[in-house]
C-alpha cells in the first residue's frame, strides 16, 4: 500500500508523521531541533483556554514559536464551548501563525480531568461535539481532535469519533489507550484501526511506535492516514530524519553515542540561551536522560547529571563524560 500525504483541511503533510504535544518536553527549543531533522508537523504544548483568555499563567509563553516552526498546530483544552470558541478566535489571528486548532480530549492527568477537560470529555459526547462545533464556528483554521479510546473501556470509541467528525473535526488523532490506563499496558492498534475504518476524516494513530520503520509499517498497512510519535522522539530528534531516509530507500545514519551526546549538548546549550541558566538547567535535566537511553553507563551519567550545578559542568559531562562509561 502506497503512503500518501496527510491531509488536514487544505494542508498536506509529508511524510504523514507528526510529533506529539508533550507538556514539559516539546517546547519551542526542542521543536526547532525536530524541524531541523525533518519533522514535518508539530503541536504546541497544550494551553488552557481560560488561562489564555484571563492571563495569569504561562499560556502566551507556550505559544511563542519561530518562523521555522511551521506548520504548527496549537492545542487547547477546556470544558466550556464558549471559552474554547473565544480562545480559538484569538489563536486564529494571522499574526499568530498557527496552521490548525487542536482540541485535547485525551489528557489523563488528574489536574486536567478533574475540571472536566482533556480525557474527561470522553464521558460526555454531547459536550465534546458542542465544543468542536463552537471552535469550528469561531475559526477559519482546520479543527482537529486528540482523543483516547474512552474513559475506562473502548467500546464507545468509534461512535465518539464519528460524532466528533460529524460535528466538524477535520482530523482525529487517537491514542490507543483509555484514560484510566494512563500510559500503562500496550496501545491497542486494532481499536485505532477500527476507528480509522469507520470515520470519514483522516485518523492519525498514536501509541507505542518506537522506530521510524515501525511508523512507516503502520502507514503502509493502513487504514490510518498518519502516525503521531511521542515518547520515542525524546532524546531522539533524528526519528523523522530516519523515516525520510527509509522512504528514499536508504539506511538511516547510525545513532551512535557520539551523535547522541552532540545533539544533547546542542539541545542543552540552546535551552540555556533561551531560558537562562537556572530554568534551563532545571528543565533540561529531565530531557537529557532520554539521550542516555541505550548507552552503557547511562545510570552513572544520570547520577552525575543530577549532581551538576552549573551549565558549564553539564556541557563538560556531555562532551567527555560518556567516554568513561563505555
Tell me the catalytic residues: 107
Set of cell numbers at residue 33 = 531541533
DSSP state of 324: G
Partners of residue 12 on adjacent β-strands: 7
SS (H, E, C) 64-126: CCCCCCCCEEEEEECCCHHHHHHHHHHHCCHHHCCCEEEEEECCCCHHHHCCCCHHHHHHCHH
- Closest by Cα among 235, 230, 182 to 210: 230
Cα–Cα nearest to 25, from 276, 289, 249: 289
Whole-number Cα distances in Å, 221 to 107, 190, 207, 250: 28, 12, 16, 20
Amino acid at each position: 500500500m502506497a503512503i500518501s500525504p496527510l491531509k488536514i483541511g487544505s494542508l498536506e503533510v509529508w511524510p504523514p508523521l507528526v510529533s506529539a504535544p508533550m507538556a514539559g518536553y516539546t517546547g519551542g527549543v526542542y521543536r526547532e531541533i525536530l524541524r531541523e531533522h525533518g519533522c514535518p508537523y508539530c503541536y504546541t504544548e497544550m494551553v488552557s483556554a481560560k488561562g489564555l483568555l484571563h492571563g495569569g499563567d504561562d499560556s502566551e509563553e507556550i505559544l511563542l514559536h519561530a518562523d521555522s516552526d511551521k506548520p504548527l498546530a496549537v492545542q487547547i483544552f477546556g470544558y466550556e464551548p464558549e471559552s474554547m470558541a473565544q480562545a480559538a478566535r484569538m489563536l486564529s489571528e494571522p499574526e499568530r501563525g498557527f496552521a490548525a486548532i487542536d482540541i485535547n480530549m485525551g489528557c489523563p492527568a488528574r489536574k486536567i480531568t478533574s475540571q472536566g477537560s482533556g480525557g474527561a470529555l470522553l464521558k460526555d459526547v454531547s459536550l465534546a461535539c458542542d465544543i468542536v462545533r463552537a471552535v469550528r464556528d469561531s475559526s477559519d483554521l482546520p479543527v482537529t481532535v486528540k482523543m483516547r479510546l474512552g474513559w475506562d473501556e473502548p467500546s464507545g470509541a468509534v461512535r465518539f469519533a464519528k460524532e466528533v467528525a460529524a460535528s466538524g473535526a477535520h482530523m482525529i488523532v487517537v491514542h490507543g489507550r483509555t484514560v484510566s490506563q494512563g500510559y500503562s499496558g500496550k496501545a491497542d492498534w486494532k481499536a485505532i484501526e477500527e476507528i480509522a475504518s469507520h470515520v470519514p476524516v483522516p485518523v492519525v494513530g498514536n501509541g507505542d511506535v518506537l522506530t521510524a520503520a515501525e511508523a512507516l509499517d503502520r502507514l503502509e498497512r493502513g487504514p490510518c492516514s498518519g502516525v503521531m510519535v511521542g515518547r520515542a522522539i525524546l532524546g531522539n530528534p533524528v526519528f523523522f530524519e530516519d523515516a525520510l531516509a527509509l522512504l528514499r530507500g536508504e539506511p538511516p545514519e547510525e545513532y551512535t553515542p557520539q551523535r547522541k551526546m552532540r545533539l544533547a549538548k546542542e539541545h542543552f546549550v540552546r535551552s540555556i540561551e533561551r531560558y537562562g541558566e537556572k530554568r534551563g538547567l532545571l528543565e533540561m535535566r529531565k530531557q537529557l536522560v532520554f539521550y542516555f537511553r541505550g548507552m552503557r553507563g547511562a545510570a552513572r551519567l544520570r547520577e552525575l547529571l543530577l549532581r551538576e550545578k552549573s551549565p558549564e559542568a553539564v556541557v563538560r559531562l556531555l562532551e567527555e563524560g560518556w567516554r568513561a562509561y563505555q
